[in-house]
Structure 1
Amino acid sequence: MYAMRRWSARHSSILKTLYHQLENLLVKLYPRFEKIGIQKIEKPLMFIEKPTKSFFFDSQSCGQCTLGSTGMSCPMNCPKTIRNGPCGGVRANGKCEVKPEMDCVWVVAWEGTQHLKPEERAIQIVQPMLDWRLKGKSAWLRAAEQKVRELRS
């Protein structure tokens, strides 16, 4: 998993493009999802989302994905689950203070953002606190819902 997590950060540009295509597809399908019922769609969608994101990003399925702004590095892999930048305990060699054998998730995130276009580098945007009630829910569906709301208003 760890090697794949590093690979994903190195290939963040390609993965972000694929994610945008998926998001656009989900936005187009969203009216159908509403007719069926969003709750009925979430479980089958998570059947695809969870293993995919787990494989590529070692995603923790928090339901509030920030991969697009963190260089395709899941901040929830931080042993301290810090969502907004390194804790200050990053070692001089870029390793985690809690797990010295692991690269700091935020060092990997910074490296991942360097592969993105300058206008896509959103790592400095402060992320809201994690809503633990959304853990295990579809972040893909939530992102599509947010985009649909923006388009409707």
Structure 2
Amino acid sequence: MSWIQDRPRLLEAAFRATQALLRPFGRRLRRGGWVERAFVAGEKLTKGPLFDCRMCGQCILHSTGMTCPMTCPKTMRNGPCGGVRPDGHCEVKPEMACVWLLAWERSKAMPTFGPEIRRVQPPLDRRLEGSAAWINHATGDAERVPAGWNS
């Protein structure tokens, strides 16, 4: 399904529309319970096939050219690692295009969130794995950084 990822401007518009739709419900969205289970199911059904989503709970697709950084074999949230082959493929999986090269190229087509590719991302909070990223963003859990980490 990379054909849809190759249309980051369209995906950015869909992301912004989803943000706007969920904003009024922000205070009502909470982790746990049937609402989160429904969101988790929805994210698995949509982001799974579209982005090979790993359900990290801290989705930063909008900051990485609509390319999931967790699909990098090194699961690097800040990249590239420096192990990119001359042909643009991954040093760990030579048959795979470098996730971060794709993210960089795709982010150029995103007028609103494209510049966020330069932002240093905080470490992944593994406690959020398997939870709904949209709810974590609404509650602020996705943006909280672990104690001791300075951006």
Coarse TM-score class (shorter-chain normalised):
0.7 to 0.9
Q: Using structure 2 for the length normalisation, give the TM-score.
A: 0.85
1:113-124 alignment, distance < 5 Å = 113-117=107-111, 120-124=114-118
User: 2:58 aligns to what?
Assistant: 64
Query: 1:8 and 1:24 mapped to 2: Cα distance?
Result: 21
Gaps of 5+ in 2: 141-151
User: 2:147 aligns to what?
Assistant: none
- Does the 8 A contact of 1:10 with 1:115 survive in 2? no
User: 1:23 aligns to what?
Assistant: 19
Moved more, 55-64 or 113-122: 113-122
Query: 2:139 and 2:7 mapped to 1: Cα distance?
Result: 27
- Does the 8 A contact of 1:23 with 1:144 survive in 2? no
Superposition deviation, residue 7 in structure 1:
2.0
User: 1:99 aligns to what?
Assistant: 93
Gaps of 5+ in 1: 147-153
Query: 2:38 and 2:69 mapped to 1: Cα distance?
Result: 25
User: 1:138 aligns to what?
Assistant: 132
User: 2:32 aligns to what?
Assistant: 39
Q: Answer yes or no: is 1:77 the counterpart of 2:37.
A: no
CA displacement 1:17-60 (0-9 Å, x = unmatched) = 11111122122123444xxx542211111111112001111111
Superposition deviation, residue 119 in structure 1:
6.0
Question: What amino acid maps onto 2:25 in structure 1?
Answer: L
Superposition deviation, residue 118 in structure 1:
6.4
Superposition deviation, residue 127 in structure 1:
0.4
Question: What amino acid maps onto 2:7 in structure 1?
Answer: H
- Does the 8 A contact of 2:48 with 2:54 survive in 1? yes
Query: 1:119 and 1:104 mapped to 2: Cα distance?
Result: 21
Superposition deviation, residue 82 in structure 1:
0.7
- Does the 8 A contact of 2:8 with 2:66 survive in 1? yes
Question: What amino acid maps onto 1:64 in structure 2?
Answer: Q
Q: What's the % identity of the aligned pairs?
A: 46
How many residues in Structure 1 have an aligned counterpart in Structure 2?
A: 140
Query: 1:66 and 1:31 mapped to 2: Cα distance?
Result: 21
Query: 1:51 and 1:119 mapped to 2: Cα distance?
Result: 24
User: 1:10 aligns to what?
Assistant: 6
